[in-house]
Amino acid sequence: MVPRTTTPTFDNLPAELNDILTLHSSFLTTLSLHYAHNGTATPIDLRSLTPAISSVWGKRKVNTDDLRILLGVLSASPSPDLSNPFFLSDYGYGKVFLEINEVYVQGGMVSGPLNESALQTLFMQGLEQLWKTWTEAQRSRERPIAQPKRRGRPSKKFSQAQPSIEPFIDSTDPDTLSKFLSQLPHASITESPSLQKVAPLREKGRKRLRDLKDSIAEGQASRIKRTCSAAYPTPSPSAPSTPAPEPAPTSLFAVGKENQPAQCSVQYGPGEQKKITDNFTQVRKTSLLDRILAKQAKAAALPAKASPTEIARMSALARAEEILSILALLAAGKAGPGQRASLSMVALCQALRTSVRSPISREEAEKCVEVLAQEVCPGYVSLVRMGSMVSVVVNQAARPMDVRGRLGELGVLV
């Protein structure tokens, strides 16, 4: 690798030249960070590289043309020791990547961290070479002015060659520098080998798509012609002539869109158009009314929706048999056989919630007990209310024998 050199300072240069030199320095810094994390063998997508350079540079948004100018200046360097190691590859679908030549990777020039000082020097050498070439071209275009011959000793001639760009820029105007920077070369973007391999397949697909669109357009045009010819036949010369209605419609042929059926449009006079519109509006109103009435009749024929109270009642009836068996066990443990047992509603609901197979809430347990006392077995279970307290009285002597039959009468499927 080329030995590292001291990074040049750009404080004494004009603003335009300073911007391009600092841009190249930011470009090298971003590349060093990327290669430190991903390695030099990984191509860099310009869609992710340009925002990173913009954040490092901090002056404006960097685009692809800026990178092409930087690589073009690097390629213009006359240095025999080091040349531009980067190139741009097009992978199709708007994807452009920055890659390193395999020659430099195999030779060890960029196998480790980038030598930013050497590449910055290479960039300045390329810029100086382009400056010299451009100034010589501009000087050759100017027409020499004839000078009168003078007698005596000839004056000493000074060389016009400039060893560096910096002294000459100090004596030039900003317009000259702007013209020079505007004509800097752009690096070319080469197609990647993978894109070259799939190019014939993509061209074949595009050709098939064009053929398909042409066939669809031809089919639509022929269908329009047949439809309009059948709707408005051309009268034969031998047929008796009949007076045409006033105003006569004028046929206009139009090709529809690719994904829509083509139609033959007809233009009518003001009178016929208003008549057709009125008839269509009346039919539209009638059909809309019929649809509304049919929808109302269908909704009336459907069974009425159950209310929340009815849903809670049916849910309690479905649990009645299980709740009744638990209630019988609690009453037998509370009092002797055939005797009445009194239980508080709070304690009973707590016992039911811990005994049923599927969990229920306190409100559902209370609803089940109320349904048993009012509808299923009113003589066996009764409720006694004293203020805010509710007690459940179970008469074991009046236990029902056919609970399932009673639930079937109430509309519960058992």
Q: Coil, strand, or helix at residue 196? A: helix
Q: Residue 55 — very low, low, confident or very high, per pLDDT cuts 50/70/90?
A: very high
- Alpha-carbon distance of 298 to 156, in angstroms, equals 114
What torsion do the CA atoms of 271, 277, 283, 288 make, to the nearest 10 degrees? -160
Least confident segment among 4-18, 48-62, 90-104, 296-310: 4-18
Q: Residue 403 — very low, low, confident or very high, per pLDDT cuts 50/70/90?
A: confident
**Could you count the other beta carbons within 10 Å of the beta carbon of residue 273?**
12
CATH number assigned to the domain covering 15-137+167-182: 1.20.120
252, β-bridge pairs: 265
- For residue 57, the model assigns a pLDDT of 92
Q: Which residues contact 351 (CB under 8 A, 6 or more apart)?
A: 326, 330
Q: Residue 161 — very low, low, confident or very high, per pLDDT cuts 50/70/90?
A: very low
- Integer-rounded Cα Rg, in Å, for the chain is 48
- Alpha-carbon distance of 348 to 262, in angstroms, equals 76
Angle between helices 362-371 and 345-355 (to 10 degrees): 110
Q: Coil, strand, or helix at residue 73? A: helix
Mean predicted confidence (pLDDT) in 191-213:
77
Which region holds residue 255: left if phi is over 0, alpha if psi is between -120 and 50, else beta? beta
What torsion do the CA atoms of 38, 43, 48, 52 make, to the nearest 10 degrees? 60
Q: Is the pLDDT of residue 266 over 80?
A: no
> What backbone torsions phi and psi does residue 90 show, to the nearest 5 degrees?
-100, 120
Residue with tokens 């009445």: 340
CA 190 to chain centre: 30
Q: Residue 262 — very low, low, confident or very high, per pLDDT cuts 50/70/90?
A: very low
**Could you count the other beta carbons within 10 Å of the beta carbon of residue 128?**
20
- For residue 285, the model assigns a pLDDT of 58
This prediction has a pTM of 0.44
Q: Residue 29 — very low, low, confident or very high, per pLDDT cuts 50/70/90?
A: very high
Q: Is the pLDDT of residue 387 over 50?
A: yes
- Alpha-carbon distance of 325 to 319, in angstroms, equals 10
- For residue 256, the model assigns a pLDDT of 46
- Alpha-carbon distance of 232 to 236, in angstroms, equals 12
241 DSSP assignment: P
Q: Check if the beta carbon of residue 61 is closer than 8 Å to that of residue 49.
A: no
Q: Mean pLDDT, the chain, as a whole number? A: 76
Q: Which residues contact 72 (CB under 8 A, 6 or more apart)?
A: 184, 185, 186, 187
Q: Is the pLDDT of residue 216 over 80?
A: yes
Mean predicted confidence (pLDDT) in 286-302:
82
Q: Locate the domains of the chain by residue range.
A: 15-137+167-182, 308-409
- For residue 253, the model assigns a pLDDT of 41
- For residue 276, the model assigns a pLDDT of 55
Q: Residue 70 — very low, low, confident or very high, per pLDDT cuts 50/70/90?
A: very high
- Alpha-carbon distance of 80 to 388, in angstroms, equals 105
The CA-atom distances, in angstroms, between 16 and each of 7, 27, 181, 233 are 19, 17, 8, 76
User: Same CATH topology for 15-137+167-182 and 308-409?
Assistant: no
391, β-bridge pairs: 344, 384
- For residue 143, the model assigns a pLDDT of 53
Q: What percent of the chain has pLDDT over 90?
A: 12
pLDDT digit string, tens, across residues 108-129:
455 556 788 888 888 988 888 8
The CA-atom distances, in angstroms, between 269 and each of 169, 194, 243, 251 are 78, 62, 17, 12
> Residue type at 248?
A
Q: Which residues of 198-224 are buried (b: 16+ CB within 10 A; e: fewer)?
A: eeeeeeeeeeeeeeeeeeeeeebeeeb
| Largest CA-CA distance found in the chain, in angstroms, rounded | 155
Is residue 28 packed enough to be buried (19+ CB in 10 Å), middle (13-18) or exposed (0-12)? Answer: buried
- For residue 173, the model assigns a pLDDT of 62
Q: Is the pLDDT of residue 26 over 70?
A: yes
Least confident segment among 81-85, 156-160, 183-187, 404-408: 156-160
CATH class of 308-409: mainly alpha
Q: Is the pLDDT of residue 260 over 70?
A: no
- For residue 379, the model assigns a pLDDT of 87
- For residue 22, the model assigns a pLDDT of 92
- For residue 106, the model assigns a pLDDT of 52
pLDDT digit string, tens, across residues 323-369:
889 988 988 888 877 788 888 999 989 998 888 888 889 999 999 99
